[in-house]
Amino acid sequence: MKTEIETIRGETPGLSYELIVHRLTGSDPQAPRVYIQSALHADERPGVAAMHFLIPMLESAERQGQLRGSVTLVPHANPIGAAQHLFGTHMGRFSGATRINFNRDFPVPDADGNRALDGASAATFAELRLKSRLLELADDCPIVLDLHCDDEGVQYLYIPEVLWPEMADLAACLDAEAALLWDKGSDRAFEEAAFEQMRARAGNADLSGHCVTTVELRGQADVDAASARKDAEGLFRFLQLRGVVSAEDPQAPALRGDFVGKPIRYVDMIHAPAGGTILYHAKPGDLVAAGALIAEIITDPGVRDGMVEIRAPQAGYVLTRRSRRFIRMGDDLFKIIGENASVDSYEGALED
């Protein structure tokens, strides 16, 4: 494995950020090339922990001549967000300079393959250079994995609908409890931009064998050795199934659950109808009935009618919930995937 440290220039003299890129060289130029990154939302650490265990597995495969496809790994994909701390709190999801989600507004290449940065302001220059470089590293790779996590959640994935059900092997290897299929992008997240690159390169060719996804590795606090090792083993098994790593008769495990391969429009986003203290009655992984009490918000402690009930809009499976226990009116509380399409029928990002 070769490690490169790239420099992302900042907006003022003396300011720069380091992007660490690991490269492993496969033995077969025809084997799939792979790009994996983690911590694009810099305060999401399960993917970094998984990388800690995956990298030695891939190094061993490279040494033993079992690595067929070349692999590029970026464990800390957002050094800008990693440096953002305010009063002891890490703020890794949104840019402190622009207030833009770090996983939005990726500079999609034009018809000539150029990613124009002409519109960059002083506040966005470094961010756009970073986003542009991440897309360049992923370009020409038929397998692109972006490792994230939710606030509190089960294991689930976002997958372009046209790549399903072929990508069911990844969902099975990662023991995912849900896979949300999207067919329209709206916010130029990394996954969307990488997929657009993929389709442009393929032209009218078949996309069989291609894979691009956002992997949600449970919740932010789910960072432990056992989970990280399991995630790494799942990713490694997937690479064996796809022929990136040699293996004798690799087998995919069975898919888990009834909500793997559901359109994203089947997700209900439950928003807080009032601000206050949350008392949860449902957690990620729960099956809930239509009308079931899933949370209460204390708006006026100890006072009659000082609490607001929140009920499930339809029967479904709780994917995620907000980790903090003090909420503002309008904030997201739950993602629940049901058997029927949500009234809102989301097509783009589910949240900011």
Complete edge-to-edge strand list for the sheet that includes strand 307-311: 307-311, 293-298, 276-280, 326-327
Would the pLDDT of 348 be above 70?
A: no
Beta strands in 184-311 (DSSP E): 211-219, 259-263, 267-271, 276-280, 287-288, 293-298, 307-311
Q: How confident is the model at residue 125 (pLDDT cuts 50, 70, 90)?
A: confident
- The per-residue b/e assignment along 193-226, b for 16 or more CB within 10 angstroms, e otherwise, is bbbbbbbeeeeeeebeebbbbbbbbbbbebbeee
- Residue 347 structure tokens: 């097509």
pLDDT for 198 = 94
- Residue 328 structure tokens: 């503002």
Mean pLDDT confidence for 11-34: 96
pLDDT for 252 = 85
Q: How confident is the model at residue 151 (pLDDT cuts 50, 70, 90)?
A: very high
Question: Cα-flanking dihedrals φ and ψ of residue 337, to 5°?
Answer: -100, 130
Report residue 307 CA to chain centroid gap: 34
pLDDT for 171 = 97
Least confident of 10-14, 128-132, 168-172, 270-274: 10-14
337: amino acid identity, one letter: I
Least confident of 57-71, 183-197, 213-227: 183-197
Would the pLDDT of 27 be above 90?
A: yes
pLDDT for 204 = 82
Determine contact, residues 172/254, Cβ cutoff 8 Å: yes
Least confident of 180-184, 242-246, 254-258, 276-280: 254-258
Tell me how far apart the alpha carbons of residues 334 and 285 are, in angstroms, rounded to a whole number: 12
Sequence ranges of the chain with CATH classification 2.40.50.100: 265-338
HSE, side-chain direction, 13 A CA sphere, residue 55:
18
Would the pLDDT of 2 be above 90?
A: yes
Instruction: Supply the mean pLDDT for the chain.
Output: 93
| CA angle, residues 158, 159, 162, in degrees to nearest 5 | 155
pLDDT for 162 = 96
- Residue 2 structure tokens: 């070769």
Least confident of 108-112, 176-180, 230-234: 108-112
Mean pLDDT confidence for 116-122: 55
pLDDT for 335 = 97
- Could you give the percent of the chain with pLDDT greater than 90? 82
Q: How confident is the model at residue 203 (pLDDT cuts 50, 70, 90)?
A: confident
Beta strands in the chain (DSSP E): 2-9, 16-24, 34-38, 71-74, 85-86, 89-90, 143-150, 152-153, 155-160, 178-182, 211-219, 259-263, 267-271, 276-280, 287-288, 293-298, 307-311, 316-321, 326-327, 332-338
Task: Give domain 2-257's CATH architecture.
Answer: 3-Layer(aba) Sandwich (3.40)
* More confidently predicted of 157 and 339: 157
Mean pLDDT confidence for 227-244: 98
Question: Cα-flanking dihedrals φ and ψ of residue 2, to 5°?
Answer: -110, 140
Mean pLDDT confidence for 53-63: 98
pLDDT for 123 = 58
Sequence ranges of the chain with CATH classification 3.40.630.10: 2-257
Specify the residue for token string 């990388």: 51
Q: How confident is the model at residue 5 (pLDDT cuts 50, 70, 90)?
A: very high
Mean pLDDT confidence for 240-265: 92
Would you say domain 265-338 falls under CATH 3.40.47.10? no
Determine contact, residues 17/79, Cβ cutoff 8 Å: yes
pLDDT tens-digit profile of 274-284? 999 999 999 99
pLDDT for 119 = 53
Q: 282: closest CA among 262, 259, 260, 312?
A: 312
Mean pLDDT confidence for 340-351: 72
Q: 80: closest CA among 25, 26, 42?
A: 42
pLDDT for 329 = 97
pLDDT for 205 = 86
Determine contact, residues 90/24, Cβ cutoff 8 Å: no
The length of the chain, given as a count of residues: 352
- Residue 39 structure tokens: 């911590």
Determine contact, residues 7/16, Cβ cutoff 8 Å: yes
Would the pLDDT of 258 be above 90?
A: no
End-to-end CA distance of the chain: 36
173: amino acid identity, one letter: C
Mean pLDDT confidence for 131-142: 96
pLDDT for 256 = 85
